[in-house]
A and B are shown apart, each in its own frame.
Chain A
Amino acid sequence: MVPVSAYLIVAIVLFGIGTVGVLISRNMIVMFMCIELMLNAANLALIAFSRSLEVMDGHAFVFLVLTVAAAEAAVGLAIVLAIYRNRETINIDRFSILKW
Chain B
Amino acid sequence: MSLDTLIFVISVIVAVFSATMMIVQRNPIASVLYLIVSLVAQAVLYVQLGALFLGSILIIVYAGAILVLFLFIIMLLNLRGNEDLGEKSPLVSQATKFIVSILFVLELVFVVRSGYVAESIATGVADTGSTGFGSVEDVALLLFTRYLYPFELTSILLLAAIVGAVVMARRENRDIQQSMFVEQTPSETFKKGQG
Indicate, yes or no, whether A interacts with B: yes
Chain A residues in 8 Å Cβ range of B25: 30
Which label, helix, strand, loop or mixed, suits the secondary structure of the A interface? helix
A34 to chain B, nearest CB (A): 6
For the complex, what is the distance from the CA of A14 to the CA of B109, rounded to whole Å? 12
Q: In the complex, which residue of chain B has the Cβ closest to the Cβ of A20?
A: B101
Given known contacts A3-B120, A70-B61, A74-B162, is B112 in contact with A47 (CB within 8 Å)?
Answer: no
Candidates A7, A37, A62; contact of B19 at CB < 8 Å: A37
Given known contacts A2-B123, A27-B28, A37-B19, is B51 in contact with A59 (CB within 8 Å)?
Answer: yes
A62–B51 CB distance below 8 A:
yes
For the complex, what is the distance from the CA of A34 to the CA of B31, rounded to whole Å? 10
Given known contacts A20-B23, A86-B176, is B53 in contact with A59 (CB within 8 Å)?
Answer: yes
A79 to chain B, nearest CB (A): 6
Given known contacts A16-B101, A51-B49, is B142 in contact with A56 (CB within 8 Å)?
Answer: yes
Which label, helix, strand, loop or mixed, suits the secondary structure of the B interface? helix
Candidates A1, A10, A33; contact of B16 at CB < 8 Å: A10
For the complex, what is the distance from the CA of A52 to the CA of B37, rounded to whole Å? 26
For the complex, what is the distance from the CA of A15 to the CA of B104, rounded to whole Å? 10
B134 to chain A, nearest CB (A): 7
Q: Given known contacts A29-B79, A36-B62, what 9 new A-B pairs fall within 8 Å (CB)? A: A3-B120, A4-B119, A14-B42, A17-B20, A43-B58, A53-B118, A59-B134, A75-B165, A90-B84
- Which residues of chain B have a CB within 8 Å of any CB of chain A? 2, 4-5, 8, 12, 15-16, 19-20, 22-23, 25, 28, 31-32, 35, 38-39, 42, 45-46, 48-51, 53-54, 57-58, 61-62, 65-66, 69-70, 73-74, 76-77, 79, 84-86, 89, 94, 97-98, 100-102, 104-105, 108-109, 112, 117-123, 133-134, 138-139, 142-143, 146-147, 150-151, 154, 157-158, 160-162, 164-169, 171, 176-177, 195
29 sampled A-B residue pairs with Cβ under 8 A = A2-B8, A4-B118, A10-B16, A16-B101, A17-B19, A17-B22, A19-B101, A21-B22, A25-B23, A30-B22, A33-B32, A33-B35, A37-B19, A44-B42, A48-B49, A53-B118, A56-B133, A57-B142, A59-B142, A64-B151, A69-B62, A74-B162, A77-B69, A77-B165, A81-B76, A82-B168, A84-B77, A86-B195, A91-B84
